[in-house]
Structure 1
Amino acid sequence: AGISEDPDNGGEGISYAEANLEEGEFQDAIIMAFDTYGGESFVADVANSVIEAASGMKAVTGVSDKIGTRTDIPGVGYVSTDDTDDPVVVVSVNELEQIAVVASAMIGAALGNKNTYLVKRHTACNVLPGSVLVSVTALMNGNMIDLSIPFENKTRILG
């Protein structure tokens, strides 16, 4: 069905998320996008664990609504609460030093779920069906930064 003007008739539509930003010079955010390869039955749980991980952390000023709780997309229409298989999570952060801390907690929460894989932008991801794919981007001072690479570097075991 897709996007509808009637809240009761929305189906799978575009992914949408918003988070509050504080007034100030820098408006930084972490954007986590999910897609599935047969993981439709649990992708909302993965995304919601990310939301729970970021909520209440130091310097977090806004977190998008939990997946399955919001159907309205302002200026567009309505989608279903449970038909999306590609949710998006947005978290706003007001301290530069906390971007890595919050993003790492979010990534850890996502990867702690079954069959969930972090992917670099624009790369092939060879996974078995029944998987959730996640990409993480920081929006910092208007610049988009793929966080999978610094996360991979940071989690390398030294020795």
Structure 2
Amino acid sequence: MTPKELAHHKTAAKQLLGVPVFKPLKRNKLPKPLHKMGSARLMSTDLLSVSDTHRAVLMWRDGETLQDSAFMAWLFCVLENQSLYPLFELHFHPSHKGVHCKMPCETAPDYTNRQLPGAPELDLLTLDGLDPRVDVDRQKLTLQFCKVCGITLASEKDTWTLPLA
């Protein structure tokens, strides 16, 4: 995918309707490429429609300690055959990295219905002291994901009063 194509997806009108609801994730609940994920410690949103052709999924892992927790989010475009093509993958692992992302920019592999192994990885500005196990911090990470992906929020009335950094 070219940088111009990625920029087109980022600037496309996308909107998140309300605060995402996280529920325990069971295997095969989400479509490919996330269908094999699931455990007692994983909490996930449903596949969220943010436009006619874009979907998002947000997920966090509850750990006994901060070092065992994580936050992940994906933005996909829906292809004509209804397969999902990953455009953006965000990860936050307090144990070893701050917020970082992967994008299929100038890559040769076909990532249809796959995550982004081998795709370029970039670090993003990380707020200090974030804990994916804390609701307010998950909201901050969700807002950062939305900002980076060009996803607007549906309403000022949503509980999105946290600053984007």
TM-score (norm 1): 0.31
Structure with more of its chain in helix, by fraction: 1
Tell me which structure has the larger Cα radius of gyration: 1
**Normalised by the size of structure 2, how large is the TM-score?**
0.30
